[in-house]
Every structure is written in structure tokens, then in C-alpha cells.
Amino acid sequence: MIDRTKSLLTAVVLGLACAPALAETPLERGSYLVNGIIGCGDCHTPRGKPPGPFLSGGNKQMGGQAVTANITPDVETGIGGWTDEQIITALREGKRPDGSTIGPPMPVRDYRAMSDDDVKAVVAYLRTVPPVKNVVAKSQYKNPLPASYGPPVGHVPNPPADDQIAQGAYLAGPLGHCMECHTPMGPEGRADMENRLGAGGQDFRLPNGVVTSANLTPTGLSRYTDAQLKTIITTGKRPDGTEITGPMEVSLYAKLTPKDLDAIVAYLRSLPPKG
Ligand code: HEC
Ligand code: HEC
């Protein structure tokens, strides 16, 4: 009897000691990702001043060929009728429940590497967004879409919790697309991740000219301290008083936790220098 009480007590004490004080729920994680570094709303919330209802779709992309989908839980016009598995397949494999392919502005190639935990967290959060009835036009592509973006994704683990650089690579790659913009195009019309990862030099057309992405390898960033680099990423302001312009959404990165921001900086510092 005494033994049993003792072991129960031990279990309670151990349980308390082991429970992380501020464990993030999947819903909180999903909200952090969708409203922060992933920024689904960047494409899926109707543009305008003020913007339209959150995630209700209808923005044109690719010169009007693609129209972003309504991804609110409205059953008729959004994705409210899809199962969790069907939404996960849409995100990581670019397939709708009817088997059709989702067009390339949707960053499926990046999302293939989204971990099982994170993709479930994103779905948990999407379920809580207010449903909006909004019929959007169908995308009409000039060239046929690929039948698939690759073999079935299967199981994707989280980056190891004790590996800061792996955490940073995951944030700056599949989730944040930093490297997608900050790597020059290769011969196949895709960012040349293999040879020129982070070297910058990709051009973005703006209404008033062209802006070129910066070199994020140590060649480009060694002139900044970690603190300066974090200020640039989260506010767009450089130490010399100039501000970055163009497509980089610093308002999303302003919401990064200090731990995630540290991981991104550690990862960028670890990149092989590229001229
Ligand atoms: C860079 C722009 C972009 C981003 C970022 C983006 N999407 Fe999309 N998404 C699109 C476009 C464009 C389509 C429609 C493509 C088509 O019709 O072929 C789409 C389609 C979808 C679809 C298919 C819906 C349907 O009814 O066909 C889902 C689900 C989806 N997106 C969810 C998400 C989620 C969740 C996120 C964030 C994790 C996200 N998207 C981020 C551009 C984007
Ligand atoms: C949609 C494309 C895009 C994405 C995504 C993006 N950037 Fe950028 N970034 C740019 C462009 C373009 C510039 C150059 C802006 C200018 O010179 O006015 C830039 C500038 C910068 C600079 C300034 C460098 C310098 O030399 O002053 C840093 C640092 C940076 N980005 C880091 C990041 C990080 C970290 C991420 C991901 C968390 C990221 N960027 C995501 C396009 C992007």
C-alpha cells in the first residue's frame, strides 16, 4: 500500500516535472505558421485596401492563368467538405479529392517537406477560420499541368529539436521560401538550389522597376551582426537606414519567435559562401 502510494506520488511529481510548461497545441502551432512564416493569406486572402475576408481566395497569379482558391471551411465554395487527409494531400502532393492537379503557384514542391506534425497543425487551424461563401473563377493554364509533383510523400519527421541549423534550414526552406527567392534561377527555370543556394540575384519586376534578391550566404551577410540581421528580416530596415523593397513580406517574419529567428540566422551563417 505504502509502496503504491509512493509510486503514484512519484508518477505525479515526475509528470509535473516533465510536462512542458507552455506546450504549444497543434492549433496554436497552426495559427503561428499560417499567420506567420508560411503566410497562406499572402496568396489566398483577397488583395485590396482593406484586404477581403481571410483566406477566401480569388487573387489572380501567373499573369491571370491561376486564381487562388477559397480555403475557408465553407462546405459549398471552400474546403469545408474535405477530410483532413484530403487537405494534407492537397498541400503536400498538389492533388484535389477529385484527382485533379493544383497548379504551380501553390508551393507544393516546398510543402512536400512540411512535417506531419506541422501539416496537421495547419489543417487544425484552417478548420477554425470563419467560413466564407465565395465562388472563385477556375484557373486556366496555357500549358498542361504535371500529373503529379512526385511520388507519395509518406512520413515526414520534424527537424531534430537539438539541431539548430536543421531547424533554420526547415524554416528558411519549405516553410518560409527564403531560399526560393534568394537563389538565382538555373537553366531549367527553377532556383538552382544545388549549385547556388542563397547566392541571391533573382530579379523581381515591380511597378516602378526591378529589385534583385540579396546574397544571403556569408559573402553577402558577414557585414551584419546577428542583431542587425534580425532587424532586417523582421522590419526590412538596414543599419544604414535604407529599407528593403519588393516581394519580401517582413510583416510575416516580424511574428517569428526569438528561437526560430535565431535558427534562421544560424542556418544562413552556415551556408557555403557564394560570390
Ligand atoms: C504563392 C501563392 C500561394 C501560397 C503561399 C499558398 N497557396 Fe494555396 N493555392 C495557390 C493557388 C494559385 C491555388 C489554385 C491553383 C489552381 O487552381 O490550379 C491554390 C490552391 C490551394 C488549394 C486547393 C483548393 C481547391 O479548392 O482547389 C488548397 C487546399 C490550398 N491552396 C491551401 C493552401 C494553404 C493551406 C497554404 C498555406 C500553408 C497555401 N495554400 C499557400 C497559391 C498559393
Ligand atoms: C518573395 C521573395 C522573397 C522571400 C520569400 C524572402 N526574401 Fe529576402 N529579399 C528579397 C528581395 C528581392 C530582397 C532585396 C530587396 C532590396 O534590395 O530592396 C531581399 C532582401 C533580404 C535581406 C537584405 C540583405 C542585404 O544585403 O541587405 C535579407 C537579410 C533577407 N532578404 C533575408 C530573407 C530571409 C531570412 C527570408 C525568409 C525568412 C527572406 N529573405 C525571404 C526577396 C525575398
The ligand placed nearest to the CA atom of residue 39 is: 1
Minimal CA–CA distance to 213: which of 230, 188, 192, 194?
192
pLDDT of residue 129: 98
Closest protein CA for atom 43 of ligand 1: 106
pLDDT score at 27: 98
Cβ neighbours, 10 Å, residue 37: 21
d(CA 90, CA 107): 11
Residue having the nearest C-alpha atom to atom 42 of ligand 1 = 106
For ligand 1, atom 34, the nearest C-alpha belongs to 40
pLDDT value of residue 226? 98
pLDDT of residue 17: 46
Give the mean pLDDT per block of 10 residues along the chain (275 residues): 48 46 88 97 95 97 96 98 98 98 94 98 98 97 95 96 97 96 90 94 92 97 98 98 94 97 98 95
pLDDT of residue 275: 86
DSSP secondary structure of 161-174:
TT-HHHHHHHIIII
What spacing in Å lies between the alpha carbon of 248 and ligand 2's midpoint? 6
Q: What is the pLDDT of residue 21?
A: 53
Cα-to-centroid distance, 233 and ligand 2 (Å): 7
Question: What length does the chain have?
Answer: 275
Q: Name the percent of the chain in helix, strand, coil, to the closest 5.
A: 40, 5, 55
Query: What does the block give as the cell for 107?
Result: 508551393
What residues pair up with 225 in beta bridges, in sequence order? Answer: none
Whole-model pTM: value is: 0.91
CA angle 231-234-237, nearest 5°? Answer: 50
- DSSP class of residue 210? E
Which ligand minimizes its atom distance to the CA of 242?
2
pLDDT of residue 187: 85
Residue type (1 letter), 12:
V
Angle among Cα 33, 241, 255 to the nearest 5 degrees reads 10
